[in-house]
Structure 1
Amino acid sequence: MYLPKSFHETRIEVLHALMRDYPLATLIVHGEDGLVANHVPLALAGAASLHGHVARGNELAKADGVPVLAIFHGADGYVSPNWYPSKHETGREVPTWNYAVVHVHGRLRVVEDRAWLRQLLEQLTDRHEASQPKPWHVSDAPEDHIEKMLRLIVGIEIVIERIEGKFKLSQNHPDANRTGVLKGLAERDGKRDAELTELMQQSEERRHGR
């Protein structure tokens, strides 16, 4: 991807945090008919791989050994030039879009091991049910139903070869403009503006060593 130096995020802990917070990845492979994109929740397994599962009918279930790109999409939002103090001084500003993404390059491995898959389902379920008042567990379903579901899916593992992060959060603007963007996001208060504000504030704190 196009990656200007000011937006290049290399700290692995920051990249991993976005991947954990926004686990639904866009998985892109080159299939028989060209590029194929699927959307799959993925979980970090240490720092070396990503784990997930797909239906047996999915193209990914037949893509063992194929190179893959996983894109994790963080918060994003439109930025109005009216939010920049410099616009009111010179008029020389234009609209843009702030966002954060992580690209993971690796190789896909299809996993047929039933015990591996069962453990993955339990881990993913427990993680995403943790905030529920009464968390659901895989063991809550009848065992024959779980076994039937397991036969319909395969596990996937992506062995990570390279990670790239692009956090475009107004770093190329002076402090006054960045403050203006934060004020504009707070006033607009859209669906993802609070998440984008948090990312920008974290970026500011890291810039100033706080």
Structure 2
Amino acid sequence: MELHDYLPSGWVLKTTHHGLMLMAPDCEQGKDFVTGAARYLNETAQNIRGVIEICAATGDRLASITPSELIKGKGEIDSDSSDDQTLRKMQLEDARLMERILTSQEPMAMVGLTDHIQVLINQPMATRLGTTCKAARGRNLRPLHNHGWLPELLKTLQQQEQVRVRYQAWLNAQDEVYGELTTLFEVGTFQGEPVRIATNLDLNIIQPPTVEVLKV
């Protein structure tokens, strides 16, 4: 597969005197793609014996990847090793998953299955939750999901890969926004760790419970 086969929609691939230039629609998508596809980008730089520049449409330079980053002590790369092939496959799968989420018109997010840390969120989901992609990334969702449905969800996801759940949760705790949601959850893997992928199907803002709720 060629590099352009793994670029999310909206990206531009250009050749330069030094190698390739990838232009992302915005900084957030660019940084996410560079993180998830780092290994594959490094290998591509080595294969073309050139530099891969990653920029945003705004003109911001996000990364510069050179062949030397993969050169080992003897100046050679063991590209045929099983470990290399396994890692490359994992990175390509990560890139595909990020593309699916970031380019989806549906509100989608990715959350760590065990630590409940929000790994990735697309713009439609951020808009629906009344936050930004940057603010949402890295927050712990466990304190926001406090009505007992989360343990049941995790138990169900151990038995089936996909489940539809209706539940209540804090959406934006800082602004005390509370809602009732219908979400399709599925199990996946990102950077070698289990994640749950959420696609929000419906959201209604409602009054929060009267009992005190821990918020972050």
The bucket for the TM-score relative to the shorter chain is: under 0.3
Bigger relative contact order, structure 1 or 2, given CA contacts below 8 A and separation 6+? Answer: 1
The TM-score, its normalising length taken from structure 1, stands at 0.24
TM-score (norm 2): 0.24
